[in-house]
Structure formats: structure tokens, C-alpha cells
Amino acid sequence: MKSFTYERATDVAGAIAAAQQGRARFLGGGTNLVDLMKMGVEEPSHLIDLKQLSLREVRPLADGGVRIGAMISNAELAEHPLIAGPYRVLSEALLSGASPQLRNRATTGGNLLQRTRCHYFYDPAFSACNKREPGSGCGAREGYNRMHAILGHSPQCIATHPSDMCVALAALEAVVQVAGPGGERSIPFDEFHRLPETKPEVETTLKPGELITAVDLPRADGKARSLYLKVRDRASYAFALVSAALVVQLDGRRIAEARLALGGVAHKPWRCRRAEAALRGMSVDDPTALTRAAEEEIAQARGFRHNQFKVELARRTIVRAVQLAVAA
């Protein structure tokens, strides 16, 4: 690991000011960044520890929503009374991620910015990785790509975003609050992460030196049903092959509104707008229409040598998520 300097920020303004120097990085729980530093993938010259910032609060907003501080741990957030009941999909997604020890350390801000788990990215012994070294190629396209994307990939990168929490935040239409040298701004969740296109090294719309301070959830509809369904190789401590976060409102036996996002399939949480449109007005007793709605989304999916199975898995995960949610 390359040597670096370290400081504990005591307020947001100080953290932002410190981030203007050299290759500075914010440190949340360190569960991803420190691994990447050990591997030689990230080489910050300065670490700004955020632990002492007062960003751990979860509190109601005047509009009925909830503000989640960027530094609350994933474990604490999952069990918080303002989250566990009203935003079940978020609580379930958090509890399906990593292990209890990791969830105790990992923070909201860090979870949003965790890097892909593509092996070629993590191991500098592989020279071809456009995300690590722009212009060097993509080892995964012709290599081993079982965990990789089937939607929204580009010739430059087929990596997936590994977070569970972010899939739920996409379905909930959260808003990311950030502060930086240019002041404060709000970023709708769907606009926070990027598809790889020709610049896979640029993963979000954050500007240099911007700090995530909070994530806002809109008011929860007390009558909506929601769930997180994660399909993975082991029952725990494994990243999603495919996952689905669903929030659905029923009108009798019909779907009035649905918000659906998939994880494990793209460079960002994949909002399923085509499936959502097809689900609207659909009878929950019509399995053929449900399969058609899933197909509307998945028709655009393209797999690679080792992950072709994800196309059918994603289709079935959508169907199963809707069936479970409406039966609950």
C-alpha cells in the first residue's frame, strides 16, 4: 500500500476544504476503500475520515419523507423504526448485504460509492481494465464474465454495481444530498449513478470534492407493499446474481402503480420503466400478463459467454417479486 496522510474531519466545511488537496479521498467505514488501497487499485495521498461528522441521524422531513444521514451504518439503518416498517424494501435490501460485521462498519455514503466487484478491476495483474486504466481494454468481455451486466453495458465496460441498498433506493425514488466547493445540491437517485458508455471510470454525477451528506426518502405510502428479492449463489454473504426491489400499490385486484428496480444486472441500479408501464392496470390474477410485463424489460438484455443465464433469471426474478408482493 502506498503511504498517505490521514485526518479526522470535525465538520462538513472542513471535510470539503480538505478534499481539495491532491488525491484526497473521504473515508466512511473503509470496508471497500481500504481493500482497494491494499490491492493498489486506489492510491489516495490523503484520507479524510468522516466518522466524527454529525451525519448519523435519521429524521422525519416536513413533507412526510425521511432524511438518512450519510454516516449511519447499514446495520443501524436497517433496524431504525423510521425505516424498518415504512420502508421495508430498504431494510430488507440492507440486511441481505454482506455480513453483520461489515454492515456494522459500512455507511450510507460509502455504500452508494462502493466500486464494482469485477475481478479484472480488483487485480492490477490484469492490464486490461478501462475502469482502472482508461483506454486499456476490458478483460471481462472475452474473459470470465459470470457476474457481469446484461443491461446497459458498453463495448468499454460490462461491470455491474454491486450494492443491494442502492436497488431499493432506486425503487423508492430517493434523492441524494451533496455538499461541495460549489455549495449544496440534490441529485435524484436515477441520475446519481452512470452507465459506462465510453467512460466507465466515471461512475457517478458527483463533482470532484463533493461529499454525500444525506439521502432523502419521499413519504412512504402506508398502503403500498414492498419487498427486496435477492438471488445469489449462497443464502448469505454473497453479492446478487440478480435482485429486485419493488414498491407496488394495489387497487383491488389490479396494480395501480409499481416502481421496480433490478440489481446485479447493470453498471447502476436498473430502473425497470418498461415493466412498470406494463404492470400499471394489470390484474394480479393474470400470470400471462405478468410474464409479458417482465419480458417488456428483459427483451433489451444481452448476456455474454458465462452470464447468459442472467437473462432468464432476471425475467423470473421480476415475476416472482410481483407475485410475492401482491400475495403478502
Residue ranges in contact with ligand SF4 by CB under 6 A: 116, 118, 120-121, 129-131, 138-140, 157-159, 200
Of the residues 87, 189, 192, 239, which one makes contact with ligand FAD according to CB under 6 A: 239
Sign, CA torsion 97/102/105/106: negative
Q: Does 97 bind ligand FAD (CB under 6 A)?
A: yes
Cβ proximity to ligand SF4, 120 vs 270, nearer residue: 120
Closest CA to 167 of 230, 209, 99: 230
- Give the residue from 145, 153, 150, 154 showing the smallest Cα distance to 126: 145
Secondary structure of residue 70 in the 3-state scheme: coil
Residue closer to ligand SF4 (CB basis): 96 or 156: 156
Task: Indicate which single residue of 9, 27, 78, 227 sits in contact with ligand FAD (rule: CB under 6 A).
Answer: 27
Site string for ligand FAD, 155-194 (x = CB under 6 A): -------xxxx-----------------------------
Using CB under 6 A, which residues numbered 250 to 309 contact ligand FAD?
none
Q: Is 155 helix (H, G, I), strand (E, B) or coil?
A: coil
Asked if 242 is part of the footprint of ligand FAD (rule: CB under 6 A), the reply reads no
Q: Kindly tell me which residue out of 33, 75, 258, 279 binds ligand FAD, with binding defined by CB under 6 A.
A: 33
Q: Shortest distance, CB of residue 320 to ligand FAD, whole angstroms?
A: 19
DSSP H helices in the chain: 12-18, 33-39, 74-79, 81-84, 88-95, 100-105, 108-112, 119-122, 139-142, 165-171, 273-279, 287-298, 309-327
Q: Cβ contacts of residue 101 below 8 Å, gap of 6+?
A: none
Q: Which residues bind ligand FAD (CB under 6 A)?
A: 25-33, 35, 50, 70, 97-98, 102, 105-107, 109-111, 113-114, 162-165, 211-212, 239
